[in-house]
Amino acid sequence: MSNPLLAPISQLIDYAQINAEHVVPAIEQLLTQAKTAVNDLNRQPVATWDNTVTALNNATEQLWRAWTVVGHLNSVINSPELREAKTACLPQITEFSTWLGQNESLYQRYQQLAQSAEFSSYNIEQKRAIELALRDFRLGGVELQGEARARYGELSEQQAVASQRFSENVLDSMDQWALYITDESQLEGIPADTKAAFAQAAQADDKAGWKITLKMPSYLPVMQYATNRDLRHTVYKAYATIASDQAQKPDLDNSEVIEQLLRLRAEESALLGFNTFAELRLETRMADTADQVIDFLRDLAQRALPFARKDLEQLKAYAIELGISDFQPWDAAFVSEKLRESQYAYSEDEIKQYFTEPQVLNGLFDVAQQLFGVQFKPTTLSVWHPDVSAFEVINQDQQPIGYLYMDLYARAGKQGGAWVNSERSRRRINHDLHLPVTYLVCNFSSPQDGKPALLTHDDVITLFHESGHALHNLLSTVDEPDVSAFAAVEWDAIELPSQFMENFCWEYPVIQKMSAHVDTGAQLPLALYNKLLAAKNFQSGMQMVRQIEFSLFDMLIHNQSTGLSITAVLDTLDQVRSEVAVVIPPSWHRFPHAFSHLFAGGYGAGYYSYKWAEVLSADAYAAFEENAVALSDGSRNTLDSTTGMRFRDEVLATGGIRPAAESFAAFRGREPSAEALLRHSGLTEAAVQ
């Protein structure tokens, strides 16, 4: 096969052979094939499951897989050639997607299926697929006519292009900024392994000294450990003004893109008969209305604010002890780390020495095996970068159930953050079963000086979080891709498995398995673990209100009947901060300009999902706490396989075959309660007594 993007859906992709020049011809060929196949199936006189739903998936599956691969590569090995190829295809993909969503013949066929005598004999997956398809047709503008229909297509294309531009501006703004240091004294306080990475980065640029970038493995250690306050201020300001009018290079300013996206989203919503974009988005969520979400967030804020204010007072008082009388936001991470060391007698850098990447992965895989009966077997699949590892996922019967690619290190040309995506969902066609293929992407520090990569405990939590998403896709027993987890689970429940997995990072039996000191191989000592656990809710009030700030801001700017100017956007953020924040950034701070979740990642009017799903995940984990076994060292073992298998069967394996509320109730036996979240976060009166 000369073009690896044209590989049959039954085959795995040969990533190492993909070049930018493959993108346009592959996408154009697959678009033509898909459109022809859809037109052919619409000519079938009587709609049946096979000649409609199965035929539609057959017609489009290879196209959507190839487009996912292109988007993925654009995020992890971005190059001018790849970006140009994706940009060239984006309007055609958007046009096809809109044409498909507004295809009246197809819509009528699904209506025929829903009204047919055979519908009652369909299984739960088939009924759910038809139900969701009819909903999505309506939300895709199938009932629009004339100018309204044409305008909807224009809006879809313009939003896709604007979101890509937003993402590119963020990536380019981050990659174009660098600070070269030649005086080592300016780096006082920064850990030795981080300084070694800085030196290696400078050497790669043929520069002397040390290179600091805005990638998280570089940015965060500076903010946490650098005693040089001017350096912290410089790096903080660069990060806080990414892709904005305040940036060092304002040619990548996202102000107009934000205005454009808000305007387009409001117009799209109005076309479809909704008052706001938030109202439109909530049609596919667990939450019913924007007011319900806003009330939920404000209620959480009122519970958390007393703790957040106490956290800040403590931070400012300790800053004075450190000689910082005028506490500023760029001091927060530094003072927090010093305060943590003072209160709990350990540093994050000390903890990090115990979490080598290979050992953490062993511990993660052990948790998955104990809870869900699956193994991760390293395999030599074709990959897109030498850093990438590939695994075959094996069930209790030693049968493969999926494939996982892990791309864990930060590098130039790679989008920041951490995420999971599905290249291919599980699908059964007659006697053939296509196994799911999943990407897990992070941005950790890479190995240095011949030693394995070291992960902070926060990195470990991030890895477990993303593994929850990956397991949601990999452990699916759903045979219809239209009701797979990533296709059909409500957005405000999609974070349940990921946030659930984070809890195990705080259990000593798990930490024992996944810790091995980089020099001695020793496990994390119980005494040091107890310090880590004691600090678990260190500044949890501040962390809680920060997430509420993001969520409330998102919901308010999208709960508008029209777009907003960038001035109004920033004013809204200021108003939200005055209501729920305790740390107020400077006026030049431009957080929205790099808020890719909202403007390039699908979380518009949905960022509240993290807090909404955290209620579900904390309550789900409480079931494991209730079945935990006390151990002789005073810790507990929450890795109860019986409870784990119930969680797998009722939540992970079921995908979107039923509403998420029903899956949660099937596992927990009742509706969710927020009490476990507040208890886990230390935000109860009992926690401070």
**Catalytic (active site) residue 125:** no
Burial 8-37 (b: 16+ CB within 10 A, else e): ebeeebebeebebebbbebbebbbeebbeb
- All residues at 6 or more sequence positions from 63 whose CB lies less than 8 Å from its CB, including other chains: 27, 30, 31, 33, 34, 96
Task: Spot the catalytic one: 61, 125, 348, 466.
Answer: 466
DSSP element (H, E) containing 423: strand 419-424
Here the tokens at position 403 are 């494939």
Q: What are phi and psi of 227, to 5 degrees?
A: -75, -20
Angstrom distance (rounded) from CA 561 to CA 686: 43
Which residues, at least 6 apart from 615, have a Cβ–Cβ distance to it below 8 Å?
Answer: 672, 673, 674, 676, 677
Give DSSP secondary structure letters for 613-633: HHHHHHHHHHHHHHT-EE-TT
φ and ψ at residue 507, rounded to 5 degrees: -100, 130
Residue 445's beta-bridge partner residues?
Answer: none
> What span, in angstroms and rounded, lies between the C-alpha atoms of 132 and 322?
58
| Chain Cα centroid distance, residue 651 | 19
Cβ 592 vs Cβ 598: under 8 Å: yes
Token digits for 657?
Answer: 């075959």
Q: Is 495 in contact with 617 (CB distance < 8 Å)? A: yes
Residues in the chain: 689
Contact 239, 130 (CB under 8 A): no
Dihedral of alpha carbons 446, 447, 448, 454, sign: positive
| Among candidate residues 159, 403, 192, the one with its CA nearest the CA of residue 260 | 159
Give me Rg for the CA atoms of the chain: 25
How far are the Cα atoms of 82, 408, 538 from residue 317, in angstroms, in the given order? 51, 38, 15
| Backbone phi, psi, residue 394, to 5° | -115, 135
Which string of b and e fits 221-248 if b means at least 16 CB within 10 Å? bbbbbbebeebbebbbbbbbbbbbebbe
CB atoms within 10 A of CB 416: 18
Cβ atoms 490, 293 nearer than 8 A: no
SS3 letters across 426-461:
CEEECCEEECCEEEEEEEECCCCCCCCCECCHHHHH
Q: Which residues are catalytic?
A: 466
